[in-house]
Amino acid sequence: MATESTERILVVDDDETFVHVLSRALGARGFEVSGARDATQALAACAEHRPRYVVLDLKLGSESGLALIPRLLAVRPDLRILLLTGYASIATAVEAIKRGAHDYLAKPVDADQVVAALLGESASHVNAAVVPDAPPPLKRLEWEHIQRVLAECDGNISEAARRLGLHRRTLQRKLAKRPVREARRDVPPG
């Protein structure tokens, strides 16, 4: 999927290797790509390079990609933002869209999925959704609820802990853990 004219993409992720690999793959598809590793670099690159698209990670070290969405749109209102995360949940997807993201994908993703999402094309042939036949694990539901409350508190851990009835340190430990991944149902066990 190459573009006719060179479109600019800004890739914002705190994982330098991911930025490098995705940038090369997008460059091979005809895009002019720049990278940023935090909010400050992202805002500066957005103002300087004037990208049409932004691929943004949900977690940027201690910063939140969700909080960066409106700030990027303030610099360049016509941006098309794709939020990527290794911590996919319905709550964060809804919050991302509310804040101005155009699409949301769970990692791992490949460059074709990214391009399809950025261009607003159906990526169903690339990223077919798997409908689970069992409810998600309790730990997964807990993690999603914590993420929803944290988003409602604009990332304020103390306020989120108060609303959840948890000690602040307990909430920090829960946030440091990776969420339980849902088992893929499209691959037969064995």
Its sign, for the CA torsion 159, 97, 143, 58, is: negative
Confidence (pLDDT) at 34: 93
What does the pLDDT read at residue 54?
94
pLDDT at 58: 87
Q: Are 111 and 90 in contact (CB under 8 A)?
A: no
Q: Is the pLDDT of residue 141 over 90?
A: no
**Planar angle of CA 111, 129, 57, nearest 5 degrees:** 45
**Burial environment of residue 178 by CB neighbours within 10 A (0 to 12, 13 to 18, 19 or more):** exposed
Average pLDDT (143-151) is 81
Is 57 in contact with 85 (CB distance < 8 Å)? yes
Domains by residue range for the chain, with CATH: 8-118 (3.40.50.2300), 138-176 (1.10.10.60)
pTM: 0.63
Report the percent of the chain where pLDDT is more than 70: 81
What pLDDT does 137 receive? Answer: 66
- Sort residue 88 into left (φ over 0), alpha (ψ -120 to 50) or beta: beta
In the chain, the amino acid numbered 132 is P
What pLDDT shows up at residue 126? 38
pLDDT interval class at 134 (50, 70, 90): low
Q: Which long-range contacts (CB under 8 A, 24 or more apart) does 26-30 make?
A: 26/111, 26/114, 26/115, 28/111, 29/1, 29/2, 29/3, 29/111, 29/115, 30/2, 30/3, 30/6
DSSP secondary structure string, 107-153? SS--HHHHHHHHTT---TTTS-----SSPPPHHHHHHHHHHHHHHHT
The predicted structure's pLDDT at residue 150: 84
pLDDT band for 125, please (50, 70, 90 cuts).
very low
Least confident piece of the model among 33-47, 59-73, 165-179: 165-179
- Give the pLDDT confidence score for residue 2 in this predicted structure: 44
CB of 32 within 8 A of CB of 9? yes
Taking a C-beta distance cutoff of 8 angstroms, is the pair 106, 88 a contact?
Answer: yes
Lowest mean pLDDT among 81-85, 131-135, 142-146, 161-165: 131-135
* 4 vs 72 pLDDT, higher one: 72
Q: Taking residues 31-45, report their average pLDDT.
A: 92
